[in-house]
Amino acid sequence: MAVPLTASAELAPSPPKGLTAEQRIALWVDWMDTCEQFLLAGLRRKVGPQGDVTAAYRRWYAEQMEEHDRTIRHMLERLTRTGDCHAR
């Protein structure tokens, strides 16, 4: 059985109750900034103190987009093959 790469939605922390839409968006942006800092810290560790973090980020992003494109192509091929894809 495959191990999921992400936790289920039930395990995700909920935002505090009573936040306005603007506060929820600000919280989301803060979480995204935090995730970016973790990513950059990991890349810094990988390339070392003299390494080019920007180039490492570009490589990482290109790899992520290639994987995304492969996944989308696979999904479209599967939908086309099974006949579940309906043009509208």
CA distance 46 to 48: 6
The residue that leads in pLDDT, 5 or 81, is: 81
Residue 59's pLDDT is 96
Q: How confident is the model at residue 14 (pLDDT cuts 50, 70, 90)?
A: confident
CA distance 38 to 40: 6
9 pLDDT more than 90 = no
For the segment 23-42, the average pLDDT, to the nearest whole number, is 94
Q: Answer for the pair 46, 56: CB distance below 8 angstroms, yes or no.
A: yes
pTM: 0.65
The residue that leads in pLDDT, 22 or 11, is: 22
Q: How confident is the model at residue 32 (pLDDT cuts 50, 70, 90)?
A: very high
